[in-house]
Structure 1
Amino acid sequence: MKLDLSNPAWHQTLPPGRAVAGDAPVAACAFSKDGSIAAFALGDGRVRLLPGDINAGETPAAEPLHGGVVLALVGDPAGDGFVSGGDDGRLLRIATDGTASEIVNQKGKWFEHLAGHRATGAVAASAGKTAFVVKGGEVKEFGPHESTVAGLDFSKDGSRIACAHYGGVTVWSIGQVTLPPRKFVWRGSHVALKWSTDGKFIATGTQENDIHVWRMAQATDMRMQGYPAKVKSLSWTADARFLYTSAQPVFTAWPFSGKGPEGKPPLQFGEEGAGLISVVAAHPAAEFVAGGYDSGELQLGDIKTRRSVVLKMADGSAITGLAWSPDGYKLAVGNEAGTLLVLDLRR
Structure 2
Amino acid sequence: MNSKTVDSQQFDLSFSQMLEDYVTAIAWSPQGKFLATSSAAGEVVLWEHTLDRQEWQRIPLQSHDQSVDCLAFSSDGCFLAAGGQAGVKIWQLDRAKVNQWQPLSITHSSAWVDRLAWNPLSNQLAFSLGRHVQIWDATTPDTSTILNFAASSVLGLDWSSDGQYLAIAGYHGVKIWESRNWREEPYVFDLPTASVAIAWAGDSKYFAIGNMDRTIAVFEWNNPDPWVMRGFPGKIRQIAWSTASQRPPLFAAASVDGIVVWSKHPDDLVGWESRVLQHHDGVVQAIAFQPNSLLLASAAEDGLICLWHKAQHLAQILEGAPQGFSYLAWHPRGQQLAAGGKNGELQVWTRSRRGQGFNLC
The TM-score normalised by the length of structure 1 is 0.88
Q: Does 2:262 match 1:254?
A: yes
Distance 1:19 1:78 in 2: 27
Q: Displacement, 1:259?
A: 3.5
Deviations for 1:54-73, whole angstroms, at most 9, x for unmatched residues? 86334346253566111111
- Are the aligned partners of 1:66 and 1:86 in contact in 2 as well (CA < 8 Å)? no
Question: Structure 2 counterpart of 1:44, which letter?
Answer: A
Distance 1:57 1:91 in 2: 28
Alignment of 1:1-347 (within 5 A): 7-10=7-10, 15-52=12-49, 56-60=54-58, 62=60, 64=62, 68-93=66-91, 95=93, 97=99, 99-138=101-140, 139-239=144-244, 241-247=249-255, 249-259=257-267, 265-269=273-277, 272-303=279-310, 306-313=312-319, 315-347=321-353
Q: 1:100 to 1:284 in 2, by over 3 A?
A: same
Paired residue secondary structure (1:214): strand
Q: Displacement, 1:336?
A: 1.4
- Are the aligned partners of 2:23 and 2:327 in contact in 1 as well (CA < 8 Å)? yes
Q: Displacement, 1:337?
A: 1.2
Q: 1:214 to 1:303 in 2, by over 3 A?
A: same
Instruction: Count matched residues.
Output: 338
Q: Displacement, 1:81?
A: 4.7
Deviations for 1:177-209, whole angstroms, at most 9, x for unmatched residues? 221111000012111111121112221221122
Bigger Cα displacement from structure 2, 327-336 vs 314-323 = 314-323
Deviations for 1:294-328, whole angstroms, at most 9, x for unmatched residues? 21200111227x32233324754232211111111
Distance 1:144 1:315 in 2: 37
- Are the aligned partners of 2:118 and 2:125 in contact in 1 as well (CA < 8 Å)? yes
The structure with the greater share of residues assigned to strand is 2
Question: Structure 1 counterpart of 2:203, which letter?
Answer: D
Q: Displacement, 1:265?
A: 4.5
Question: Structure 2 counterpart of 1:274, which letter?
Answer: D
Q: 1:187 to 1:226 in 2, by over 3 A?
A: same
Distance 1:133 1:67 in 2: 27
Deviations for 1:51-97, whole angstroms, at most 9, x for unmatched residues? 34586334346253566111111122233452211211223235484
Question: Structure 2 counterpart of 1:226, which letter?
Answer: G
Paired residue secondary structure (1:59): strand
Distance 1:296 1:98 in 2: 35
Distance 1:66 1:179 in 2: 40
Question: Structure 2 counterpart of 1:330, which letter?
Answer: Q
Distance 1:31 1:144 in 2: 29
The TM-score normalised by the length of structure 2 is 0.84
Question: Structure 2 counterpart of 1:141, which letter?
Answer: I
Distance 1:261 1:323 in 2: 35
Paired residue secondary structure (1:186): strand
Question: Structure 1 counterpart of 2:341, which letter?
Answer: N
| CA RMSD, 1 decimal | 2.6
- Are the aligned partners of 2:74 and 2:122 in contact in 1 as well (CA < 8 Å)? no
Paired residue secondary structure (1:161): strand
Paired residue secondary structure (1:320): strand
Q: Displacement, 1:98?
A: 6.4
Question: Structure 2 counterpart of 1:110, which letter?
Answer: W
Question: Structure 1 counterpart of 2:276, which letter?
Answer: Q
Paired residue secondary structure (1:48): strand
- Are the aligned partners of 2:264 and 2:273 in contact in 1 as well (CA < 8 Å)? no
Question: Structure 2 counterpart of 1:301, which letter?
Answer: W
- Are the aligned partners of 1:85 and 1:91 in contact in 2 as well (CA < 8 Å)? yes
Distance 2:93 2:270 in 1: 45
Paired residue secondary structure (1:49): strand
Among all aligned residue pairs of Structure 1 and Structure 2, give the percentage whose two residues are the same amino acid.
Answer: 21
Gaps of 5+ in 1: none
Distance 2:339 2:123 in 1: 25
Gaps of 5+ in 2: 354-361
- Are the aligned partners of 2:205 and 2:221 in contact in 1 as well (CA < 8 Å)? yes
Deviations for 1:20-71, whole angstroms, at most 9, x for unmatched residues? 0112111111101210111112111111222345863343462535661111
Distance 1:261 1:62 in 2: 53
